[in-house]
Amino acid sequence: MVAVITFSVWQVAGFNMIIYLAALASVPEVYYEASMIDGATWTDRFRHITWPLIWPSTIFLLVIGVINAIQAFTQIYILTQGGPFNSTEVIIDWIYQESFVNLNGGLATAGSVVLFVIGMVLTVLQLRFLGRRHATTFS
């Protein structure tokens, strides 16, 4: 499972870096200049300017990351095909086995609907709890 996690993290690292670089590039330089005049330290500038302004990108990456983690099939199938004694089997692998190996489309469809509901609930919870965090709460 450690190899699967490492592979998955490495697979999305470039995408996450591009999103964060774009978010950092969109932070106006004027805020940093004003904070330096006011005598803010590097940590104060990060805590009160950078982090609140890149927080929407962080929420986006967290939601996408959870959805990708739920749908992790390719990594597991390529590396372990369920692993020794099904130690790396996940719901997507079970859906694949039921639909294409066992030819049980009804059960696979039911599993897909359950996976969809789990993904939607997790996304709504993330957006509800993380989306309430505004720039003023970092003060």
CATH number for the domain formed by residue range(s) 2-138: 1.10.3720.10
**Given a cut of 70, is residue 139 above it in pLDDT?**
no
pLDDT band, residue 68 (cuts 50/70/90): confident
Please give the model's pTM, rounded to 2 decimal places: 0.75
Reported as a single tens digit per residue, the pLDDT across 24-53 is 999 999 999 999 999 999 999 999 999 999
Determine the average pLDDT of the residues in 67-76: 82
User: How far from each other are the two terminal CA atoms of the chain, in whole angstroms?
Assistant: 39
What is residue 136's predicted lDDT score, i.e. its pLDDT?
46
DSSP code of residue 67:
H
The pLDDT tens digits for 74-103 are 888 888 876 777 777 788 888 988 999 999
- The structural domains of the chain, with segments of one domain joined by +, span 2-138
Q: Token pair of 8, please?
A: 């998955």
